[in-house]
Amino acid sequence: MKIKSESGITGIDISISIIIIFIFVSIIATLSFQINNTAKSLERRGEAIGIAIQEIEQIKNKGFENYQGLNSQSTKDNEGNNLKNQPVNGKEGYYKTIKVQDYTELEGNGAKIEDLVKKVTLTINYKINAQEQSVELTTILSKEN
């Protein structure tokens, strides 16, 4: 009785090797895609935060007078600029919305004097992976005596 020699590669060995390589390459490709996607998402969010900081500093520099007389129903500031969904200058795909609330509009402050303090909320909207994302910063402006 002669036992068959086991030297050489059979078709089953090659098939198993190809399946293992295919699974390995698929896992690596998926991980690479997820890492790239996360990196882009973090980059866009970081840029939105930077834009929000710059915009909030501009709001502070303009001062209370630019928002005097405005409340949560206002759609334009005192210079005539729209407050809702305005494209950010020089930054494609980013939009800003400014919401101005008088201190008297905040809960528990109805009896206070109007037009002394404003709460200004800036929202930067952007899209990543076809989903709307946003960053929000708030500042307080007060009238100087």
pLDDT digits (tens, 9 = 90+) for 115-145: 888 899 999 999 998 899 999 999 999 887 5
Give domain status of residue 5, yes or no. Answer: no
Best CA proximity match to 81, nearest among 66, 101, 65: 66
Q: Give the count of domains, the chain.
A: 1
Q: Give domain status of residue 1, yes or no.
A: no
Q: State pLDDT tens for residues 3-42.
A: 666 666 788 889 999 999 999 999 999 999 999 999 999 9
Is residue 75 predicted with pLDDT exceeding 60? yes
User: Averaged over 75-89, what is the pLDDT?
Assistant: 85
Question: What residues make up the domain containing 122?
Answer: 11-142
Query: Domain for residue 2, yes or no?
Result: no
- The model's pTM: 0.75
